[in-house]
Structure formats: structure tokens, C-alpha cells
Structure 1
Amino acid sequence: MEPPTPVRILTVCTGNICRSPVAERLLQAGLDQVLPHGFEVASAGTRAMVGEPIQPLSADIIRTFGGSAHDFASRQLTREILGATDIVLTMTAKHRGEVLELDASLLKRTFTIREFARMLDVLEERERLQKHGGNAPATDSRTLWRGLPARAASVRHLSLAADAADNDVIDPFRRSEDHYRQMEDELAPAIISILRYARLNAPAAG
């Protein structure tokens, strides 16, 4: 019997050397703790610096939070990559638009990562109240995550950003350490929200 197909998540930025690799490696590390072999997280760039490694300051952030920055090479976003993806998480609204220019069929499965995290926070609270009411649906993790984009989009109106800029993660490339810290400040809470949602919806230990 073949093992279940993992849920495939793609993170997207511009050069694929600063922001999306941080999201990729930290999401993968955290999701591996929640459900080993249940997720495959990858990344790509809309104007990738193909073959380049992760920028050193981004690599430091990855290692600090328990991920690995090894064996990474930037790659260009393509329709083929998108075609094998369940959920696309972009670093900015502009990247989301560029994803949809390549494959408009992904409209309901593509979010900025900060927007998606806010949606999961809303879903988490809604599901907490349902559990108290005894109405929580039972489903396996892979089915849950493949249906998650539609459920997340259904609460979009409850998770709107106060400012459109709050959907984006700053690009620190060729900028100061302060800009990398700002990237970390914007990206880390979103990653934590996604991992918490995964943990709260993980299958019970047998």
C-alpha cells in the first residue's frame, strides 16, 4: 500500500533567497514535528536568482528557529511547479498576482502568508467554540489541509488587514540587518499561527 500523498505547500517571493526560503524551511521543520511525512514545503521566486543559496542573514534566522538552511538552490516559479501544489503562500500581494498570472486556477488556493495566518486564527477560534458545543468535524489531517483554502477564504471578511501593507513581508535583499529583523518580525508570527493551527488539528496520538 502506497503512503498517502503529502500536502504540498509552496512559498513564493521574488529572488527565492531571502523570504520564501525562511518560510519554507521553518514551516517544513514545524510541520514535520506535527505530522512526519505529512507535508512537503517548497519555495520558488517570481524572478529567481536561480541556483543561489539562501542569503546568510536569512539562513541565520532559519537556524535560530530550528530549521536547516543546507542544500538549497533558488529556482524560478513555473506553471509546472504550481500545478503540483495544494496551497500557495506568497510574501506579498504582488507575488500573489504574479502567481495567478501564471495559473489563474489557483485563485482560491493562493494567499499572502500573513493573510492566510490571520484566516487560520479566525478558524481556530471558530473551531474552539464548536468543540465546546460538541460539533467539531472529525477528519484526517491531509483531507483537512486540502479543504483548508476554501474554509480560510470563507472567513476572509473577518480577517482583513487594517492596512494593505500588513499583508506583505518586507524584502530585505541588499539592505541592512534592520530590514532582515523587520522581515523576521513580519514573517515569524504568521509561521507560528500556521504551525499552531496544524498542531491543534493534528491526529491524536495512538
Structure 2
Amino acid sequence: MESPTPIRILTVCTGNICRSPVAERLLQAGLDQVLPGAFQVRSAGTRAMVGDPIQPLSADIVHLYGGTAGGFAARQLTPKILREADVVLTMTSMHRGEVMQMDASLLRRTFTIREFARMLEVLEKRDDSPAPAADMAAMWRELPARAASVRHLAMAEDASDNDVVDPYGRGPERYQQMEDELAPAILTILRFARRRS
């Protein structure tokens, strides 16, 4: 059953051409398989290279996991874009701080993507009823507050474990590191969505 108003997820990085587009396209592809039409995933950059396409090595990662990279154009993060999001997933703690500076009211629905994935794992362990949600949209709109409530149980051993490395201007090995840090978080979010649908 389609949600009349899609759950809006925003991914954020710096230039909006490497990390956040990969997260956007792979989350959208995976969530479309879980519940077509129920989610709208978009991305933006804190210092976006406005209008640029996804970097070729990032596009390769998107294709590798079954997403599509075509038709993408980087855009600048704005307060209006933030206000429209139900969940904001940043690529680093620094990006999360920049979101907070732009709109402090988003505190309880803004997370680094790796932190959010760990929080979902905590919620799954604590949940006595992993049955599908009756109202998927309502469950996802309440999810940021539930995730924030277990933040203390999902702390990273090292603060850098919250961040996804920036590969821009670097070689293939840095893109591989980005994939190694980003893909598990995306897969955790998709697995959570699948179990709740």
C-alpha cells in the first residue's frame, strides 16, 4: 500500500557529487523494492558543486549495487530543503553540525548515516515485536525520535566511525574506502525497512 505522502529522507555531504548521491540512489533503489512509492530520497551538499553529475567512480558504486546514477545534478543544501525532510542522514559529524547551525530544530531527526544504522540495530535488538508495521509511514515518521532515544547505546568506539571518508580528488582506493564505510550502513537501513514492511 502506498503512502499518500512519501517519507522524505535527505542525505548530505559536502559537494553532493560523491558520497550523498551514492547514499541517495542506493537507498531509493532499495526502499523502492521494499515499498514502492512510500519513500523519496534526495541529497544536497553543504558546499555543493551545483549542477554537476555524480563522480564517475561513485556512479560505478551505484551501478554495482543495482542503482541508477543518471539524471543527477548536485544541489546546495538550504533551510527549505531541510524543513521538507523527515530524516536527515549526513556523511560526517561535521555535516551534522552544519545542519544544526542551519536549523537547530532538526536535532532529533539528523544523524550521521553510520550512527543511524547502529541505532537501528539497537532498536531491532530491543524490539520484542519485529512484526511488520501496520502503518509504515507513521512508523518511519516516529523512527527519528526512537533512534535518538537510543543514541547513548549506539555510540562509536572512535568518533571517526561515525564518518564516511571524502574520496573527492583521490584515487580508486579512497572510493573503495568510502564504499566500505557507506555500504554496510545502507544495507542495515534497508534490512530494517524490509523487516518492518
Q: Shorter-normalised TM-score: what interval?
A: over 0.9
Equivalent residue letter for 1:131: S
Name the SS of the counterpart of 2:80 in structure 1: helix
State how far apart, in whole Å, the 1-side matches of 2:192 and 2:116 are. Answer: 11
What is the match of residue 156 of structure 1?
151
Alignment of 1:58-69 (within 5 A): 58-69=58-69
Output the amino acid matched with 1:184. E
Show the counterpart of 2:186: 191
DSSP-derived class of the 1:153 partner: helix
Which letter does structure 1 place at the counterpart of 2:129? K
CA RMSD of aligned residues (A): 1.4
The percentage of counterpart residues that share the same residue type is: 71
Residue 89 of structure 1 aligns to a residue in which SS?
Answer: strand
Q: How far apart are residue 131 of structure 1 and its match?
A: 2.6
Structure 2 counterpart of 1:92, one-letter code:
T
Please show how residues 58-137 of structure 1 align to structure 2 within 5 Å. Answer: 58-127=58-127, 130-131=128-129
Superposed displacement of residue 137, structure 1 = 8.8
Contact 2:24–2:43 (CA under 8 A) maintained in structure 1: yes
Per-residue CA deviations over 1:135-175 (Å, capped at 9, x if unaligned) read: x6953110000000010011111111000000000000000
In 1, are the aligned partners of 2:167 and 2:178 still within 8 Å (CA)?
Answer: yes
Q: TM-score, normalised by structure 2?
A: 0.97
Distance 1:62 1:137 in 2: 28
SS of the aligned residue for 2:129 comes to helix
1:168 to 139, 143, 163: 163
3-state secondary structure, aligned to 1:96: helix
Q: Against the structure 1 CA distance between its residues 113 and 138, is the aligned structure 2 distance closer, same or farther, given a 3 Å change threshold?
A: closer
The separation in 2 between residues aligned to 1:32 and 1:138, in whole angstroms, is 17
SS in 2 for 1:94: helix
Task: Please give the per-residue CA displacement for 1:63-119, whole angstroms capped at 9, x wherever unaligned.
Answer: 000000000000000011011110000000000010111111101000000000000
Normalised to the residue count of structure 1, the TM-score between the two structures is 0.92
Three-state SS of the structure 2 residue aligned to 1:161 is coil
Q: CA deviation at 1:3?
A: 5.9
Q: Extract unaligned runs of 5+ from structure 2.
A: none
Task: Tell me which amino acid in the other structure corresponds to 1:187.
Answer: L
Distance 1:175 1:148 in 2: 35
1:137, 1:148 → 2: CA distance? Answer: 14
Q: Which residue is 1:180 aligned to?
A: 175
Partner of 1:144: 139
Q: Aligned equivalents of 2:134 and 2:96: distance in 1?
A: 29
Larger Rg: 1
Hey, what's the Cα distance between the residues in 1 that align with 2:133 and 2:51? 43
Give, as a single letter, the amino acid of the residue that structure 2 aligns with 1:156.
R
- Of 137-146 and 91-100, the range deviating more from structure 2: 137-146
Do the aligned partners of 2:133 and 2:139 also contact (CA within 8 Å) in 1? Answer: no
